[in-house]
Structure 1
C-alpha cells in the first residue's frame, strides 16, 4: 500500500513552473534567500514581459524584490530585459529625461517647461514616463496646454526631437506590457522596483541623463546601475514627487556621475519664495508671472545643463529661460 501511494504521489506531482526558481531564490528563509544575479534578473523579467509567468508569480516576484531592497546587479539585469523589450538603441538625443513621479503633493510639471526651454536653445531632449499615480498634472495632460502632444510610437518621438528638440514617449507606447506591470501598484498597494527600471531605460542611449528619486537611498542604486551601463554622464537628485526638479527655495544636492568618477554638487537656494498658484501655460507664454514657478524652471534647467556638462550652468540657465520666446 505504501509503495502504491508513493508511486501514485510521484505520478500525480505537478512539474515546477519554469519561473518558480526565481521566486524561490528571493523568498527562501533567512540565510537562504538572496538577490538575483544580473543574468537571473534579466531572464526573470524577460519571462514576465514575454507572458511566460503567471499573475500570482508576478505579484510575488515584485513584492519580494521590494521587500529585499533594490540590489544594483539585480536591477541592472532587470533594466537589460526592459531595454530589450522597448527596443532601446542609439538615436540623436542629447539628454534622457525620465518622468515617473507619483508624489501626493505635486502640482504642475514645471520640469517640462525646463525641458522645452532647453530644446529651444538647441539641446535635444527625449522625455519618457508615466505619471498615473501622481496627484498633480501628468506630463501627457500638460502637453496639450502648450500646443504639443505625446508621441504615438518611438519613431514619432524621435521625429519630434529632430523637428523641435523635444519629444515625449509614454511608457504605455514604449512597452504596454511594462506599463501594465508598473500599474500593478494599484493592486499591490506598493511601488515595485519596476519604477526604478523604467527610470533607467535610457531608450535612445543618450550620453547624458537627469533623474529624480523620491527616497534618498535610491540614489546609490540609480547611480550604480548607470555605472554598470557605463553611461557617460548621469545626474540624480531627490526631487519633488520623485521628479528631476529643483525646489528653488532651499538648497539641494545633485549627485553627478561621469567617466572620471562621482561627485556631490551642493546647490544653493535660488529664491526665498514659496509655492503659489500659477497658470502653467501662462508661465511658458509669459502672460503670467510667479517667482517660485520660474525659479523652479530655471533651477531645473541648471540641473539638466550640469548633467550634460555645459559650462557655467548657473549663469546660462536664466538666459535659456529668457530666450525661449
Structure 2
C-alpha cells in the first residue's frame, strides 16, 4: 500500500513593489498617499524596470484616481534626477512641452525662439504625439529650425550655438516615456504627464510649468518648493507654456523656498475667434512679418514676459523687454 506524502506548501515572497500598490489601494479607510521617501523608492524601482506590468498599470491608475500630492511629485522627481545623472549644462529656462495644442497654434515656440535669440538658454523637452488631434512641438522642430538633440552632448552644443535645444523624453528617461505611452492603453493620462513638468533635469535657473486642470497649479508649485527649485506655474493655453492673452493669468511662483502669487490682466478686451484649422506656416509668416495675427503676437509677447518674470524681472520690465525683443527679432532666423 502506497502512503501519500504530505504536500509541502511554500508561500511565495511578496514582490518589493507590492507595498506601494497596497498603500494606494487598501480601501477607502486603509489607503493613503505615499510619503516623499516612499515615492522616491517606488519611482526608483520603476526606472530600474523592477516592476511587473500589472503593478505598473495599477500603480498609475490608483495615483490618477487619488490625484498626486506635492510630496509624491517631489519624491518621484528626486528618483528621476538621480537615475538620469545629467551632466552639468548651464540652462536659464526649463521648458517642458507635453500637452500639444488644438485650439490655437503653438505660439510659445516663437516666444522661445525670440528669447533664445536674446541670449536666454532654454531646454525644451517633450513626450511625443500621444493624443490625436493635437499639434506637438516635435512636429514643428524642422519648420522652426529648433535643434533636435538626442543626447546631452548635442544639447550642450545647441545651447552654446543657438541657446535653444529640444530633448525628447524617450532619449534621457525612456521608462517615463513608456508610461506616458500607456495613455491609449489605460484610457487615461497618468501622473507621469504631470511629473514630466516638474523634472527640470539640468537644474535650470527657472522651471516654467503649465498645468491646465484647476487646483493642480498650487500642488506643482509646492512640489518645486520642496525640491528647492525656482519655478513659475500657470494655466497655459491648451496645457502648454503659453499665456492666453484673452483671459486673466494667475502665476504661482516659488523662489528660494518662498511661495508667491501674481495676477496678470487680460491683454485683449474681447476674446479672439479661434482659427478654423491650425496651419503651422502661419507661425513662419508672422515671424517674418509677412502676416499679422493679433492673438498670436499678444501670446508671444506675454509668454516672453512670463519667462523674463521667471528670471526675476518685475511684470512691467518683463513686458517692456518682451515687446522690444519681438520688434527687433531676427526675421531671417526661420
State the TM-score, normalized to the length of structure 2. Answer: 0.89
SS at the partner of 2:16?
Answer: coil
SS at the partner of 1:31?
Answer: helix
Counterpart CA distance in 2 for 1:73 and 1:147 is: 38
Q: Which residue of 1 aligns with 2:204?
A: 206
Counterpart CA distance in 1 for 2:288 and 2:141 is: 13
Contact 2:209 / 2:233 at 8 angstroms: preserved in 1?
yes
Alignment partner of 1:304 is 2:298: no
Any residues of structure 2 matched to 1:157-172 within 5 Å, and which?
157-172=155-170
1:216-267 deviations in whole A, cap 9, x for unaligned?
2111211111011111x31111111211111112221111221272222111
Q: Which residue of 2 aligns with 1:275?
A: 274
SS at the partner of 2:309?
Answer: helix
Where does structure 1 differ by over 3 angstroms across 4 or more consecutive aligned residues?
Answer: 272-278
Q: Residues 102 and 140 from structure 1, CA distance in 2 versus in 1: closer, same or farther, beyond 3 angstroms?
A: closer
Counterpart CA distance in 2 for 1:17 and 1:307 is: 44
Alignment partner of 1:248 is 2:245: yes
Point out the more displaced range, 215-224 or 271-280: 271-280
Cα RMSD (Å): 1.9
Q: Residues 151 and 21 from structure 1, CA distance in 2 versus in 1: closer, same or farther, beyond 3 angstroms?
A: same
Any residues of structure 2 matched to 1:71-82 within 5 Å, and which?
71-82=69-80
Alignment partner of 1:322 is 2:320: no
Contact 1:249 / 1:274 at 8 angstroms: preserved in 2?
no
Q: Point out where structure 1 has 5 or more consecutive residues left out of the alignment.
A: none
Alignment partner of 1:124 is 2:127: no
Any residues of structure 2 matched to 1:21-100 within 5 Å, and which?
21-100=19-98
Deviation at 1:186, TM superposition (A): 1.1
Counterpart CA distance in 1 for 2:146 and 2:254 is: 32
Counterpart CA distance in 2 for 1:282 and 1:143 is: 16
SS at the partner of 1:215?
Answer: coil
Q: Which residue of 2 aligns with 1:108?
A: 105
Alignment partner of 1:313 is 2:318: yes
Q: Point out where structure 2 has 5 or more consecutive residues left out of the alignment.
A: none
Q: Which residue of 2 aligns with 1:293?
A: 296
Contact 2:99 / 2:238 at 8 angstroms: preserved in 1?
yes
Q: Which residue of 2 aligns with 1:263?
A: 260
Counterpart CA distance in 2 for 1:242 and 1:131 is: 14
Deviation at 1:89, TM superposition (A): 4.9
Question: In the comparison of the two structures, how many residue pairs are matched?
Answer: 318
State the TM-score, normalized to the length of structure 1. Answer: 0.92
